[in-house]
Structure 1
Amino acid sequence: MKHITFYLDFISPYAYLAFEKLPEALKGLSYHVDYRPVLFAGLLKHHGQLGPAEIAPKRDWTYRQVLWLAHAHGIPLEMPASHPFHPLALLRLAVACGENGLANRYVCETIFRHVWRGGAEAADAGRLQELQQALVPQRDPGSDAVKAELKGNTEQAIADGLFGVPTCAVDGKLFWGFDALAMLRAYLEGDGWFGPGWDAAAQVPAGIKRGG
Protein backbone atom coordinates (compact mmCIF):
# COMPACT_ATOMS: atom_id res chain seq x y z
CA MET A 1 0.00 0.00 0.00
CA LYS A 2 1.35 3.39 -1.01
CA HIS A 3 1.19 6.33 1.37
CA ILE A 4 0.13 9.64 -0.24
CA THR A 5 0.19 13.04 1.42
CA PHE A 6 -2.32 15.41 -0.15
CA TYR A 7 -1.31 19.03 0.52
CA LEU A 8 -4.16 21.49 0.21
CA ASP A 9 -5.41 24.99 0.84
CA PHE A 10 -9.15 25.62 0.65
CA ILE A 11 -8.53 28.83 -1.28
CA SER A 12 -7.49 26.82 -4.35
CA PRO A 13 -10.20 25.70 -6.78
CA TYR A 14 -7.73 23.24 -8.29
CA ALA A 15 -7.24 21.68 -4.86
CA TYR A 16 -11.01 21.33 -4.57
CA LEU A 17 -11.27 19.67 -7.98
CA ALA A 18 -8.39 17.28 -7.23
CA PHE A 19 -9.85 16.45 -3.82
CA GLU A 20 -13.23 15.58 -5.33
CA LYS A 21 -11.72 13.54 -8.18
CA LEU A 22 -9.02 11.69 -6.22
CA PRO A 23 -11.04 8.57 -5.24
CA GLU A 24 -12.20 8.06 -8.83
CA ALA A 25 -8.76 8.79 -10.27
CA LEU A 26 -7.12 6.14 -8.07
CA LYS A 27 -9.96 3.62 -8.07
CA GLY A 28 -8.75 0.02 -7.73
CA LEU A 29 -5.31 0.92 -6.36
CA SER A 30 -4.01 0.24 -2.86
CA TYR A 31 -3.15 3.50 -1.12
CA HIS A 32 -3.66 5.59 2.01
CA VAL A 33 -4.03 9.37 2.00
CA ASP A 34 -3.10 11.90 4.67
CA TYR A 35 -4.71 15.31 4.11
CA ARG A 36 -2.36 18.07 5.24
CA PRO A 37 -3.51 21.73 5.14
CA VAL A 38 -0.89 24.34 4.26
CA LEU A 39 -0.98 28.08 3.68
CA PHE A 40 -0.64 28.55 -0.08
CA ALA A 41 0.33 32.19 0.44
CA GLY A 42 3.31 30.98 2.48
CA LEU A 43 4.54 28.90 -0.44
CA LEU A 44 4.12 31.86 -2.81
CA LYS A 45 6.00 34.18 -0.47
CA HIS A 46 8.88 31.75 -0.09
CA HIS A 47 9.29 31.37 -3.85
CA GLY A 48 8.70 35.06 -4.62
CA GLN A 49 5.56 34.44 -6.67
CA LEU A 50 2.16 36.03 -7.12
CA GLY A 51 -0.91 33.87 -6.91
CA PRO A 52 -3.00 33.24 -10.05
CA ALA A 53 -5.72 35.56 -8.73
CA GLU A 54 -3.20 38.40 -8.29
CA ILE A 55 -2.47 38.71 -12.03
CA ALA A 56 -5.56 40.16 -13.71
CA PRO A 57 -5.56 38.29 -17.06
CA LYS A 58 -4.48 35.06 -15.36
CA ARG A 59 -7.24 35.53 -12.78
CA ASP A 60 -9.90 35.65 -15.50
CA TRP A 61 -8.47 32.58 -17.21
CA THR A 62 -8.15 30.64 -13.96
CA TYR A 63 -11.80 31.13 -13.07
CA ARG A 64 -12.94 30.25 -16.58
CA GLN A 65 -10.77 27.16 -16.65
CA VAL A 66 -11.82 25.81 -13.26
CA LEU A 67 -15.48 26.31 -14.11
CA TRP A 68 -14.93 24.47 -17.37
CA LEU A 69 -13.00 21.66 -15.68
CA ALA A 70 -15.77 21.25 -13.12
CA HIS A 71 -18.33 21.13 -15.93
CA ALA A 72 -16.27 18.67 -17.98
CA HIS A 73 -15.70 16.33 -15.04
CA GLY A 74 -19.18 16.57 -13.56
CA ILE A 75 -18.01 18.19 -10.32
CA PRO A 76 -20.39 20.74 -8.76
CA LEU A 77 -18.58 24.09 -8.42
CA GLU A 78 -19.70 27.67 -7.95
CA MET A 79 -17.29 30.51 -7.41
CA PRO A 80 -17.56 32.03 -3.94
CA ALA A 81 -18.99 35.54 -3.74
CA SER A 82 -15.45 36.93 -3.65
CA HIS A 83 -12.06 35.42 -4.34
CA PRO A 84 -9.33 35.37 -3.19
CA PHE A 85 -10.24 35.46 0.49
CA HIS A 86 -8.37 34.91 3.76
CA PRO A 87 -8.28 31.12 4.27
CA LEU A 88 -6.52 31.04 7.65
CA ALA A 89 -9.68 30.48 9.69
CA LEU A 90 -10.67 27.54 7.48
CA LEU A 91 -7.19 26.02 7.56
CA ARG A 92 -6.96 26.31 11.32
CA LEU A 93 -10.41 24.81 11.72
CA ALA A 94 -9.34 21.80 9.66
CA VAL A 95 -6.19 21.33 11.72
CA ALA A 96 -8.15 21.76 14.97
CA CYS A 97 -10.42 18.89 13.95
CA GLY A 98 -7.48 16.49 13.67
CA GLU A 99 -4.10 15.70 15.16
CA ASN A 100 -0.47 16.30 14.19
CA GLY A 101 -1.36 18.79 11.48
CA LEU A 102 -3.66 16.41 9.61
CA ALA A 103 -7.37 16.59 8.79
CA ASN A 104 -9.59 13.69 7.79
CA ARG A 105 -11.40 13.48 4.46
CA TYR A 106 -14.82 14.30 5.91
CA VAL A 107 -13.56 17.54 7.46
CA CYS A 108 -11.78 18.58 4.26
CA GLU A 109 -14.81 17.73 2.16
CA THR A 110 -17.09 19.78 4.40
CA ILE A 111 -14.82 22.82 4.26
CA PHE A 112 -14.12 22.57 0.54
CA ARG A 113 -17.84 22.42 -0.18
CA HIS A 114 -18.43 25.35 2.19
CA VAL A 115 -16.19 27.36 -0.14
CA TRP A 116 -16.87 25.96 -3.60
CA ARG A 117 -20.58 25.20 -3.52
CA GLY A 118 -23.41 27.66 -3.07
CA GLY A 119 -21.67 30.84 -4.19
CA ALA A 120 -21.59 32.47 -0.74
CA GLU A 121 -18.79 34.36 0.98
CA ALA A 122 -16.28 31.74 2.12
CA ALA A 123 -14.94 33.84 4.98
CA ASP A 124 -18.26 35.25 6.22
CA ALA A 125 -18.15 35.29 10.03
CA GLY A 126 -21.64 33.87 10.46
CA ARG A 127 -21.02 31.04 8.03
CA LEU A 128 -17.69 30.26 9.67
CA GLN A 129 -19.37 30.01 13.04
CA GLU A 130 -21.98 27.62 11.64
CA LEU A 131 -19.26 25.55 9.99
CA GLN A 132 -17.32 25.29 13.24
CA GLN A 133 -20.45 24.24 15.12
CA ALA A 134 -21.12 21.55 12.53
CA LEU A 135 -17.59 20.13 12.62
CA VAL A 136 -17.13 20.31 16.42
CA PRO A 137 -13.31 20.60 16.42
CA GLN A 138 -11.40 18.75 19.12
CA ARG A 139 -9.32 21.86 19.82
CA ASP A 140 -9.66 25.62 19.68
CA PRO A 141 -8.83 26.71 16.09
CA GLY A 142 -7.32 29.89 17.53
CA SER A 143 -4.99 28.12 19.93
CA ASP A 144 -1.23 28.47 19.71
CA ALA A 145 -0.88 24.72 19.19
CA VAL A 146 -3.13 24.70 16.14
CA LYS A 147 -1.43 27.78 14.68
CA ALA A 148 1.96 26.13 15.20
CA GLU A 149 0.84 22.93 13.47
CA LEU A 150 -0.38 24.82 10.40
CA LYS A 151 2.83 26.82 10.30
CA GLY A 152 4.83 23.62 10.68
CA ASN A 153 2.90 22.00 7.83
CA THR A 154 3.73 24.93 5.57
CA GLU A 155 7.38 25.04 6.55
CA GLN A 156 7.77 21.30 6.03
CA ALA A 157 6.05 21.54 2.66
CA ILE A 158 8.53 24.22 1.58
CA ALA A 159 11.44 22.11 2.85
CA ASP A 160 10.12 19.18 0.79
CA GLY A 161 10.05 21.29 -2.37
CA LEU A 162 6.39 22.24 -2.65
CA PHE A 163 5.54 25.39 -4.58
CA GLY A 164 1.77 25.06 -5.01
CA VAL A 165 -1.41 23.22 -4.19
CA PRO A 166 -2.79 20.71 -4.67
CA THR A 167 0.31 18.55 -4.41
CA CYS A 168 0.32 14.80 -3.82
CA ALA A 169 3.58 13.51 -2.33
CA VAL A 170 4.50 9.83 -2.51
CA ASP A 171 7.90 8.13 -2.29
CA GLY A 172 9.62 11.51 -2.34
CA LYS A 173 7.97 12.49 -5.63
CA LEU A 174 5.67 15.50 -5.94
CA PHE A 175 2.65 15.57 -8.24
CA TRP A 176 1.30 19.12 -8.55
CA GLY A 177 -2.09 20.16 -9.83
CA PHE A 178 -5.46 18.71 -10.70
CA ASP A 179 -4.14 17.56 -14.06
CA ALA A 180 -1.39 15.51 -12.37
CA LEU A 181 -3.84 12.90 -11.06
CA ALA A 182 -3.41 10.77 -14.19
CA MET A 183 0.37 10.98 -13.78
CA LEU A 184 0.06 10.00 -10.12
CA ARG A 185 -2.01 6.97 -11.06
CA ALA A 186 0.53 5.92 -13.68
CA TYR A 187 3.29 6.07 -11.06
CA LEU A 188 1.29 4.01 -8.58
CA GLU A 189 0.62 1.44 -11.30
CA GLY A 190 4.37 1.07 -11.91
CA ASP A 191 4.66 2.83 -15.27
CA GLY A 192 8.19 2.27 -16.55
CA TRP A 193 8.68 5.92 -17.49
CA PHE A 194 9.22 6.81 -13.84
CA GLY A 195 12.90 6.53 -13.09
CA PRO A 196 14.74 7.49 -16.28
CA GLY A 197 12.05 9.91 -17.47
CA TRP A 198 11.49 11.49 -14.06
CA ASP A 199 15.19 12.00 -13.36
CA ALA A 200 16.13 13.18 -16.84
CA ALA A 201 13.58 15.99 -16.78
CA ALA A 202 15.38 17.60 -13.85
CA GLN A 203 18.76 17.57 -15.61
CA VAL A 204 17.90 20.09 -18.34
CA PRO A 205 20.24 23.08 -17.88
CA ALA A 206 18.89 26.63 -17.69
CA GLY A 207 19.82 28.57 -20.79
CA ILE A 208 19.08 32.00 -19.32
CA LYS A 209 18.12 33.50 -15.99
CA ARG A 210 16.33 36.81 -15.54
CA GLY A 211 17.99 39.38 -13.35
CA GLY A 212 16.37 40.86 -10.24
Structure 2
Amino acid sequence: MKTITCYLDFISPYAYLAFEVLPKHLMGVSHRMVYKPVLFAGMLKHHGQLGPAEIAGKREWTYRQVLWQAKQLGTPLDMPQSHPFNPLALLRLAVACSVDGEPNRYVCEALFKHVWQGGAAADDVARLQTLTQQLAPQRSVDAPDVKEQLKANTEEAIARGAFGVPTFCVDDKVFWGLDALPMMRAYLDEDQWFDSAWDAAASIQQGVKR
Protein backbone atom coordinates (compact mmCIF):
# COMPACT_ATOMS: atom_id res chain seq x y z
CA MET A 1 0.00 0.00 0.00
CA LYS A 2 1.39 3.37 -1.06
CA THR A 3 1.27 6.53 1.03
CA ILE A 4 0.23 9.61 -0.96
CA THR A 5 1.04 12.95 0.63
CA CYS A 6 -0.95 15.89 -0.70
CA TYR A 7 0.53 19.32 0.01
CA LEU A 8 -2.20 21.92 -0.39
CA ASP A 9 -3.11 25.53 0.21
CA PHE A 10 -6.77 26.55 0.23
CA ILE A 11 -5.89 29.68 -1.75
CA SER A 12 -5.42 27.58 -4.88
CA PRO A 13 -8.42 26.82 -7.12
CA TYR A 14 -6.38 24.06 -8.76
CA ALA A 15 -5.85 22.46 -5.36
CA TYR A 16 -9.60 22.63 -4.77
CA LEU A 17 -10.45 20.99 -8.10
CA ALA A 18 -7.79 18.31 -7.61
CA PHE A 19 -9.10 17.61 -4.13
CA GLU A 20 -12.63 17.17 -5.46
CA VAL A 21 -11.73 14.71 -8.23
CA LEU A 22 -8.99 12.85 -6.35
CA PRO A 23 -11.22 9.97 -5.15
CA LYS A 24 -12.15 9.15 -8.76
CA HIS A 25 -8.48 8.94 -9.75
CA LEU A 26 -7.64 6.68 -6.82
CA MET A 27 -10.59 4.34 -7.18
CA GLY A 28 -9.51 0.72 -6.80
CA VAL A 29 -6.00 1.58 -5.55
CA SER A 30 -4.91 0.51 -2.08
CA HIS A 31 -3.41 3.64 -0.54
CA ARG A 32 -3.02 5.82 2.52
CA MET A 33 -3.86 9.47 1.96
CA VAL A 34 -2.17 12.23 3.96
CA TYR A 35 -3.15 15.90 3.65
CA LYS A 36 -0.64 18.53 4.71
CA PRO A 37 -1.46 22.26 4.59
CA VAL A 38 1.41 24.42 3.36
CA LEU A 39 1.89 28.12 2.69
CA PHE A 40 2.03 28.49 -1.09
CA ALA A 41 3.50 31.97 -0.68
CA GLY A 42 6.39 30.41 1.26
CA MET A 43 7.13 28.12 -1.68
CA LEU A 44 7.02 31.05 -4.08
CA LYS A 45 9.40 33.04 -1.90
CA HIS A 46 11.79 30.08 -1.67
CA HIS A 47 11.92 29.75 -5.47
CA GLY A 48 11.92 33.50 -6.15
CA GLN A 49 8.62 33.49 -8.01
CA LEU A 50 5.35 35.39 -8.14
CA GLY A 51 2.04 33.59 -7.88
CA PRO A 52 -0.10 33.24 -11.01
CA ALA A 53 -2.63 35.72 -9.59
CA GLU A 54 0.14 38.31 -9.21
CA ILE A 55 1.05 38.42 -12.91
CA ALA A 56 -1.01 40.55 -15.29
CA GLY A 57 -2.54 38.45 -18.04
CA LYS A 58 -1.79 35.20 -16.26
CA ARG A 59 -4.13 36.27 -13.45
CA GLU A 60 -7.12 36.66 -15.76
CA TRP A 61 -6.28 33.49 -17.66
CA THR A 62 -6.01 31.49 -14.43
CA TYR A 63 -9.48 32.50 -13.32
CA ARG A 64 -11.01 31.81 -16.73
CA GLN A 65 -9.27 28.45 -16.97
CA VAL A 66 -10.30 27.19 -13.53
CA LEU A 67 -13.92 28.24 -14.13
CA TRP A 68 -13.86 26.34 -17.42
CA GLN A 69 -12.21 23.29 -15.84
CA ALA A 70 -14.78 23.29 -13.04
CA LYS A 71 -17.54 23.35 -15.68
CA GLN A 72 -15.92 20.45 -17.52
CA LEU A 73 -15.51 18.44 -14.34
CA GLY A 74 -19.01 19.18 -13.10
CA THR A 75 -17.57 20.64 -9.89
CA PRO A 76 -19.20 23.74 -8.32
CA LEU A 77 -16.73 26.63 -8.20
CA ASP A 78 -17.41 30.27 -7.39
CA MET A 79 -14.62 32.81 -7.27
CA PRO A 80 -14.29 34.36 -3.80
CA GLN A 81 -15.00 38.05 -3.33
CA SER A 82 -11.30 38.83 -3.69
CA HIS A 83 -8.26 36.81 -4.69
CA PRO A 84 -5.50 36.35 -3.74
CA PHE A 85 -6.16 36.72 -0.02
CA ASN A 86 -4.19 35.91 3.11
CA PRO A 87 -4.81 32.17 3.73
CA LEU A 88 -2.88 31.89 7.02
CA ALA A 89 -5.99 31.74 9.21
CA LEU A 90 -7.44 28.91 7.13
CA LEU A 91 -4.18 26.99 7.03
CA ARG A 92 -3.67 27.29 10.77
CA LEU A 93 -7.25 26.19 11.37
CA ALA A 94 -6.63 23.08 9.27
CA VAL A 95 -3.45 22.28 11.17
CA ALA A 96 -5.14 22.91 14.52
CA CYS A 97 -7.80 20.31 13.69
CA SER A 98 -5.27 17.52 14.15
CA VAL A 99 -2.53 16.70 16.64
CA ASP A 100 0.06 16.07 13.91
CA GLY A 101 -0.68 18.80 11.36
CA GLU A 102 -2.46 16.34 9.05
CA PRO A 103 -6.17 17.24 8.87
CA ASN A 104 -8.62 14.65 7.60
CA ARG A 105 -10.58 14.91 4.38
CA TYR A 106 -13.69 16.28 6.09
CA VAL A 107 -11.73 19.25 7.46
CA CYS A 108 -10.03 19.97 4.14
CA GLU A 109 -13.32 19.74 2.29
CA ALA A 110 -14.99 22.22 4.65
CA LEU A 111 -12.14 24.69 4.20
CA PHE A 112 -12.07 24.37 0.42
CA LYS A 113 -15.83 24.88 0.17
CA HIS A 114 -15.53 27.90 2.49
CA VAL A 115 -13.31 29.52 -0.14
CA TRP A 116 -14.57 28.13 -3.45
CA GLN A 117 -18.32 27.84 -3.06
CA GLY A 118 -20.72 30.74 -2.55
CA GLY A 119 -18.57 33.64 -3.74
CA ALA A 120 -18.13 35.24 -0.30
CA ALA A 121 -14.95 36.74 1.17
CA ALA A 122 -12.66 33.89 2.19
CA ASP A 123 -11.02 35.96 4.93
CA ASP A 124 -14.19 37.43 6.43
CA VAL A 125 -13.82 37.37 10.22
CA ALA A 126 -17.41 36.37 10.98
CA ARG A 127 -17.31 33.54 8.44
CA LEU A 128 -14.01 32.31 9.87
CA GLN A 129 -15.48 32.26 13.36
CA THR A 130 -18.46 30.21 12.16
CA LEU A 131 -16.16 27.78 10.36
CA THR A 132 -13.96 27.43 13.43
CA GLN A 133 -16.99 26.59 15.57
CA GLN A 134 -18.09 24.02 13.00
CA LEU A 135 -14.72 22.27 12.85
CA ALA A 136 -14.02 22.49 16.61
CA PRO A 137 -10.19 22.36 16.33
CA GLN A 138 -8.25 20.28 18.84
CA ARG A 139 -5.74 23.08 19.35
CA SER A 140 -5.83 26.87 19.35
CA VAL A 141 -5.21 28.27 15.89
CA ASP A 142 -2.84 30.80 17.48
CA ALA A 143 -0.82 28.20 19.38
CA PRO A 144 2.94 28.35 18.68
CA ASP A 145 3.05 24.64 17.85
CA VAL A 146 0.35 25.10 15.21
CA LYS A 147 2.31 27.90 13.54
CA GLU A 148 5.50 25.83 13.70
CA GLN A 149 3.75 22.80 12.22
CA LEU A 150 2.54 24.81 9.24
CA LYS A 151 6.07 26.09 8.71
CA ALA A 152 7.46 22.57 9.04
CA ASN A 153 4.94 21.23 6.52
CA THR A 154 5.99 23.90 4.03
CA GLU A 155 9.69 23.23 4.53
CA GLU A 156 9.09 19.49 4.18
CA ALA A 157 7.24 19.98 0.91
CA ILE A 158 10.06 22.12 -0.50
CA ALA A 159 12.64 19.56 0.63
CA ARG A 160 10.72 16.84 -1.24
CA GLY A 161 10.80 18.92 -4.44
CA ALA A 162 7.47 20.73 -4.31
CA PHE A 163 7.26 24.16 -5.96
CA GLY A 164 3.50 24.66 -6.14
CA VAL A 165 0.12 23.38 -5.03
CA PRO A 166 -1.36 20.93 -5.17
CA THR A 167 1.63 18.62 -5.00
CA PHE A 168 1.29 14.88 -4.54
CA CYS A 169 4.30 12.91 -3.34
CA VAL A 170 4.48 9.14 -3.69
CA ASP A 171 7.77 7.43 -2.82
CA ASP A 172 10.40 9.70 -4.42
CA LYS A 173 8.04 10.91 -7.15
CA VAL A 174 6.53 14.41 -7.20
CA PHE A 175 3.32 15.08 -9.13
CA TRP A 176 2.22 18.71 -9.45
CA GLY A 177 -1.19 20.01 -10.31
CA LEU A 178 -4.67 18.91 -11.22
CA ASP A 179 -3.57 17.61 -14.62
CA ALA A 180 -0.93 15.34 -13.02
CA LEU A 181 -3.53 13.07 -11.43
CA PRO A 182 -3.72 10.63 -14.39
CA MET A 183 0.09 10.45 -14.38
CA MET A 184 0.13 9.68 -10.65
CA ARG A 185 -2.48 6.97 -11.18
CA ALA A 186 -0.27 5.41 -13.87
CA TYR A 187 2.62 5.31 -11.40
CA LEU A 188 0.42 3.68 -8.78
CA ASP A 189 -0.58 1.12 -11.41
CA GLU A 190 3.15 0.39 -11.98
CA ASP A 191 3.29 1.72 -15.53
CA GLN A 192 6.67 0.70 -16.97
CA TRP A 193 7.15 4.18 -18.47
CA PHE A 194 8.45 5.31 -15.09
CA ASP A 195 11.30 2.79 -15.18
CA SER A 196 13.26 4.87 -17.67
CA ALA A 197 11.51 8.03 -18.86
CA TRP A 198 11.16 9.64 -15.41
CA ASP A 199 14.90 9.86 -14.75
CA ALA A 200 15.77 10.47 -18.39
CA ALA A 201 13.65 13.63 -18.45
CA ALA A 202 15.61 15.02 -15.49
CA SER A 203 18.93 14.53 -17.29
CA ILE A 204 18.22 16.98 -20.11
CA GLN A 205 20.82 19.75 -20.08
CA GLN A 206 19.79 23.38 -19.58
CA GLY A 207 20.84 25.35 -22.62
CA VAL A 208 20.14 28.92 -21.52
CA LYS A 209 20.19 30.42 -18.01
CA ARG A 210 18.74 33.84 -17.18
TM-score class, shorter-chain normalisation, is: over 0.9
Q: Describe how 1:181-192 pairs up with structure 2 within 5 A.
A: 181-192=181-192
Name the structure 2 match of 1:180. Answer: 180
Structure 1 segments of 4+ aligned residues over 4 angstroms from their partners: none
Name the structure 1 match of 2:196. Answer: 196
Opposite residue 175 of structure 2, the aligned amino acid is F
Opposite residue 117 of structure 1, the aligned amino acid is Q
Q: Describe how 1:1-212 pairs up with structure 2 within 5 A.
A: 1-210=1-210
3-state secondary structure, aligned to 1:84? coil
Structure 2 Cα separation of the partners of residues 172 and 124 of structure 1: 39
Structure 1 Cα separation of the partners of residues 109 and 65 of structure 2: 21
Q: How far 1:89 sits from its partner (Å)?
A: 0.1
Q: How far 1:99 sits from its partner (Å)?
A: 2.0
List gaps (5 residues or longer) in structure 1.
none
Structure 2 Cα separation of the partners of residues 11 and 85 of structure 1: 7
TM-score normalised by the chain length of structure 1: 0.98
Structure 1 Cα separation of the partners of residues 6 and 156 of structure 2: 13
Q: How big is each residue's C-alpha offset from its partner over 1:50-84, in whole Å with a ceiling of 9 and x where there is no partner?
A: 00000010000000000000000111100001000
List gaps (5 residues or longer) in structure 2.
none
Structure 1 Cα separation of the partners of residues 136 and 10 of structure 2: 18
Count of residue correspondences:
210
Opposite residue 54 of structure 1, the aligned amino acid is E
Opposite residue 172 of structure 1, the aligned amino acid is D
Structure 2 Cα separation of the partners of residues 150 and 131 of structure 1: 19
TM-score normalised by the chain length of structure 2: 0.99
3-state secondary structure, aligned to 1:194? helix
Structure 2 Cα separation of the partners of residues 89 and 144 of structure 1: 13
Opposite residue 162 of structure 1, the aligned amino acid is A
Structure 1 Cα separation of the partners of residues 175 and 205 of structure 2: 21
> Alpha carbon RMSD of aligned pairs, Å?
0.5
